[in-house]
Amino acid sequence: MSLLSLEKKQKTVVLSIILAVIVVVIGALSGDVGVLGNMTLIGAIIAVLPFFIYKYTTYAWVRSLEGQFPAFIRDLADSRRSGMSFPESIKLATRANYGKLSEEIMLMHNKLSWGIPFIRVLEIFQHRLRQSKLIKEAVTIIKESYKSGGDIASTLQSISRDMVMLKEAEAERASMVKQHVMIMYGVFFMFVGISVMIILVMVPMIQTQPEGLQAGNVGIGFSDPCEGLALFPCNLFNLVGGFLGIAPGITNYYVSLFFLVVVIEGIFTGLIAGQLGESSIIAGSKHSLIMTFIGIGVFLFITKAGFVV
């Protein structure tokens, strides 16, 4: 299968992974741990960020279409009541402004003008907007009503009314759960604050302690747990330390540990916030990106500013 035959989503994933691998390989060829750490992080961002952006832009596009679709259906119902056929009704609809939906309506009009049957045009329209479950179900009802020969205008009016009610219910729910999204942000910022305080207060205290206090025959040590180890996660901690500019040691161990935990916390807390606020994990990708970049920015600031030695 060639790259040209892939869908846009698949192309985005494949190209992102290829670019990410190239970036990591360049970092590995440099022979510098710090460069490899930076390149690995950049590669991870390149691998993940385009996919998140693609999914979120698709989600925003679908939401925009769903917002305009009830008005389009309502205008179709009015045109049908005035005695127009469906091709004439859709032609008239091309003169109105339905935002991003106008392009899809124009495509429907063009296909009808080429002599394609109305049912087939609806099927193509339904397939193009298959990401929207709401529009997909509405078009299915329209097709069945058209085939049965019932009062299609009343059916269209009912669909439009029901969709408006659903969108209003979603908007009301979103306003009610907005406070829960703010709570998720509060939890994340609290966790980042606790992590920073532990790094700034506890790590220096550990550094000042002797490495091997002897209590009888029991050794109480504060040495680097990754000292002399090159296995996971110690090798990952070394890469993170190289990115943050911290030499290997006990400081690098704890800073890298909390850095990775904050990144993981930001990703999944953002996804939960999106699920709570908009009933979509994809919608939470923007929250994940915001939280993750804030967490990375905080750690870069405290390390580059010299707060962590």
Same-domain check for residues 92 and 127: yes
pLDDT at 1 over 70: no
In a domain, residue 48? The reply is no
In a domain, residue 29? The reply is no
User: Cβ contacts of residue 12 below 8 Å, gap of 6+?
Assistant: 50, 51, 54
pLDDT (average), residues 238-258? 84
pLDDT (average), residues 14-36? 79
Cis peptide bond upstream of 233, omega within 30: yes
Task: Domain of residue 296: give its range.
Answer: 171-210+223-302
Same-domain check for residues 279 and 157: no
Same-domain check for residues 151 and 175: no
C-alpha 37/C-alpha 239 separation (Å) is: 4
C-alpha 89/C-alpha 147 separation (Å) is: 18
In a domain, residue 39? The reply is no
Q: Answer with the residue of higher pLDDT: 90 or 6.
A: 90
The pLDDT-based confidence of 191 (bands split at 50, 70, 90) is very high
pLDDT (average), residues 23-41? 75
Domain count of the chain? 2
Q: Answer with the residue of higher pLDDT: 34 or 174.
A: 174
Q: Answer with the residue of higher pLDDT: 39 or 184.
A: 184
Q: Answer with the residue of higher pLDDT: 299 or 282.
A: 299
Q: What is the per-residue pLDDT for 19?
A: 86
In a domain, residue 247? The reply is yes
Same-domain check for residues 158 and 181: no
CA 264 from chain centre, in angstroms, equals 14
Q: What is the chain's Cα-based Rg?
A: 28
pLDDT (average), residues 7-25? 79
pLDDT-above-90 percentage for the chain: 11
Q: Which two tokens stand for residue 198?
A: 């532990």
Q: What is the per-residue pLDDT for 242?
A: 79
What is the number of other CB atoms lying within 10 angstroms of the CB of residue 12? 16
C-alpha 192/C-alpha 186 separation (Å) is: 10
C-alpha 266/C-alpha 244 separation (Å) is: 18
CB-based contact 287:270 (threshold 8 Å): yes
Same-domain check for residues 183 and 154: no
Q: Is 46 exposed, middle or buried (0-12, 13-18, 19+ CB in 10 A)?
A: buried
Instruction: Give one DSSP letter per residue of 258-285, joined into a string.
Output: HHHHHHHHHHHHHHHHHHHHHS-TTTTH
Same-domain check for residues 175 and 164: no
Least confident of 4-18, 64-78, 183-197: 4-18
Question: What angle separates helix 101-113 from helix 86-93, to the nearest 10 degrees?
Answer: 140
Same-domain check for residues 163 and 98: yes
Q: What is the per-residue pLDDT for 258?
A: 92
pLDDT at 56 over 70: yes
**β partners of residue 218:** 215
Q: Mean pLDDT over all residues of the chain?
A: 81
Q: What is the per-residue pLDDT for 298?
A: 92
Same-domain check for residues 141 and 183: no
Same-domain check for residues 102 and 125: yes
Same-domain check for residues 130 and 200: no
Q: Answer with the residue of higher pLDDT: 131 or 223.
A: 131
CB-based contact 299:261 (threshold 8 Å): no
Same-domain check for residues 185 and 291: yes
CB-based contact 103:113 (threshold 8 Å): no
Query: Which pTM was predicted?
Result: 0.63
Q: Answer with the residue of higher pLDDT: 283 or 103.
A: 103
Cis peptide bond upstream of 87, omega within 30: no
Q: Answer with the residue of higher pLDDT: 139 or 306.
A: 139
How are the residues of the chain apportioned to helix, strand and coil, as percentages rounded to the nearest 5?
75, 5, 20
Q: Answer with the residue of higher pLDDT: 191 or 281.
A: 191
pLDDT at 99 over 80: yes
Same-domain check for residues 282 and 193: yes
Q: What are phi and psi of 213, to 5 degrees?
A: -70, 130
pLDDT at 87 over 80: yes
pLDDT digits (tens, 9 = 90+) for 192-229: 999 999 888 887 777 676 655 444 444 455 667 777 77
